[in-house]
Each structure stands twice: as C-alpha cells, then as structure tokens.
Structure 1
C-alpha cells in the first residue's frame, strides 16, 4: 500500500485494543513510502497510553520525536514519522510497532522506504524572471560602456551632487566662508575620484 498516513483505532469496542484501519483482521499492514509519513491515533471509548517504536533498518533512517502518547476518547493524535532522505539509497525495510496496555496489545506496520527524489516545493515566484535575466539598470548600462565599476560611478554621481549643492550654497550666501567650503568640497571629490580610479 502506497500512502503517507496510517490510522490506528485505539480502544474501539473494548479497552486495551488496537486496530489498523486498512486491514480486516487489524493485525498487520504493509506500507511503502519514499518520504516522511504520519501515524494517526484515533481514540474511542476509553483513554489509553500508546507507545510507538521503530524496529529493523527503519530505525536507522527514521525517527519519532515522542514515542509515548495519551489518547483520550474521541482524540485524534498525529504522530509524525520523520525519514531522513539522505539515508535512503536502496530499499530500507523495518517495522513501526504500536503498543498499548503495557505491551499486552500491539499492532505492527511493515514499512518499506524506497529511494525517491527529494520533494521540492515550487511557488509562483519561480515563474518570475530573476533580476539577472531582466533589463540592466541605467547604472549597469553606463558601467558596461565606460568599463568603470558601477560602485565607482555611483560615488562619482554623489560627488557631483555634493559639488552642485556646495556651488548653490556659495552663490546664495556669497561670503568668503561659503567659497572656502565650495573649494573644500571640490578638492574632496577630486581626491576621492583619484583614489577610486587607482
């Protein structure tokens, strides 16, 4: 049976009983998976403590975080069985055993794990072109023409803006201090440009 879920009925009809949903006898089930799956414990008339364990080679590549569960009447308890996909190169066989009544009642699920491709979640953003495939920005086009690094071009543009602001300030204030400030900004931009080019 190829599935990602196994359901076990706990105390259906009488206390300390376990019944696999998929089998008429309720004793044994064969499960074939290629990735993690879920054991569902369905509680019925009376509460029970249920223990879950992995046997055989399955215990080498799979794990259950919490092996002990309290299942109340009407409760549905999900037990994730995590399979490490890197550990599956060939068929791996083992058993998932579910016990109750201090081990007096048990059912076994024979599990075969087949190697499968890793599951990849794909969302709508994958359909959108990445920035590398889109049109280059103006700065990137200018950089490809002048063969100057885009970062250097951006610093040069910032320097020109600084000189323009200093020029407008000096023209507005019309004082010797503003003129000295303009010269200092212009010299700073020229020195920075020379350092970037080298």
Structure 2
C-alpha cells in the first residue's frame, strides 16, 4: 500500500478541511481523516479520471470528535499515470476541498541480491558408498553427535524398567510403556 493521505478536520473552525494540495500513489492508499473537537460527516468522491482505476467502498463517513478514521482507496491495474481529483466535503456541503491525485507506475527497483558462487555447486551426495565418510563403512558421521542423546535415552529406559519392576500398578506400567514407546520413536528418528 502506498503512503497515506492525511486530512485534518475541524482544526481551526467547524467543518474546516486542511490537507495536501497534491498526492501521488503507486497503488492502493488510505485517506486518514483526523478529526478535531466536533463530530463531522465527510463525503469523499473520486472524479471520472481517478474512478477509471480507483474506487472507494463507501463515500459517506462519520468521524467522531477527537478520533481518526481510515478510508481505503483501492487502486486496480490499468493505464498509468492517471491524474484526477479527490473531492472532500464536510458538513453536508458546508466546506469543500480538492486534492490532486496522481496514480503512477512504481519505479523499477534496481536492488540486486548478491549470491555466493558456492551456492551454484551441487550439494554433496550423502548416499555414496566410497571412503569419503572417513572409513566408517556407510555410517553417518553425524551419528556421533547424537551419542549423548542415545545415552540419555538408554538411561531413561533403565529408570522406566526399574520403576516398572518395583511398582505394582497398572498406571505405572502404562506410563513406562509410553516412555519406552516415545524413546523408540525418537531413536528411530535419530537413526533415520
């Protein structure tokens, strides 16, 4: 979404409108209605040129005292640039202001991303059966990094088994079974 167009209402006097005289957007944008100390009805209208590529879901808006309201202007694909007028009316016609709006093409981005040439080389094949694995005979060299986890798992199985032997309860046996099943699944995932 492009930058917002801010409109100040009721700042100096009742139904007063203060905003930029011109606004430029590359796509959809919001009209932010910042209201002062009195509630106000605001009517927003796009002229024919802007209506060819943009639309406002509702034209009439109530903005309470000391509040802000955002009205989205949806910009569709179409010819660019498009220049037109946004009409802003307060107090049922008491005040009217216009903003010259230009819908332009987004500038072409010249930003590039640096890519390391090492990314172009294919990844090493982990399924090879040659001696590139350090003579481990097809064993994954990362398996040694999982040895502490495997030892902890074996310790948990030993504790679970000894608890099952000492306790004579069906609940404990179900718990021990769950621990052993969880450790078996974790072991499978480590070896896989």
Shorter-normalised TM range: 0.5 to 0.7
The 5 A counterparts of 1:162-177 are none
Structure 2 equivalent of residue 94 of structure 1: 84
1:112 maps onto 2:111 in alignment: no
The offset of 1:41, in angstroms, is: 0.4
Structure 1 stretch displaced more, 63-72 or 9-18: 9-18
TM-score, with normalisation over the residues of structure 2?
A: 0.53
Residue-pair matches, total? 115
The offset of 1:135, in angstroms, is: 9.5
Partner SS state of residue 87, structure 1: coil
Q: 1:92 to 1:44 in 2, by over 3 A?
A: same
* Residue number among 56, 65, 75 corresponding to 2:67 in the alignment: 75
Q: 1:105 to 1:87 in 2, by over 3 A?
A: same
* Residue number among 44, 47, 66 corresponding to 2:39 in the alignment: 47
Structure 2 equivalent of residue 5 of structure 1: 4
CA distance in 2, matches of 1:113, 1:17: 26
- The 8 Å contact of residues 8 and 40 in structure 1, kept in 2 or not, is answered as yes
Task: Specify every segment of 5 or more residues in structure 2 that has no aligned partner in the other structure, as ranges.
Answer: 110-121, 128-192
Structure 1 equivalent of residue 58 of structure 2: 66
- CA distances 1:96-142 after superposition (whole Å, capped 9, x unpaired): 111012112011110111123799xxxxxxxxxxxxx9999x9xxxx
Q: 1:73 to 1:115 in 2, by over 3 A?
A: same
Partner SS state of residue 66, structure 2: coil
* Residue number among 103, 110, 121 corresponding to 2:93 in the alignment: 103
Q: 1:135 to 1:71 in 2, by over 3 A?
A: farther
The offset of 1:56, in angstroms, is: 3.3
Structure 2 equivalent of residue 17 of structure 1: 16
- The 8 Å contact of residues 13 and 45 in structure 1, kept in 2 or not, is answered as no
- CA distances 1:128-163 after superposition (whole Å, capped 9, x unpaired): xxxxx9999x9xxxxxxxxxxxxxxxxxxxxxxxxx
TM-score, with normalisation over the residues of structure 1?
A: 0.51
- CA distances 1:31-54 after superposition (whole Å, capped 9, x unpaired): 111111111101111111000000
CA RMSD in angstroms comes to 2.5
The 5 A counterparts of 1:150-189 are none
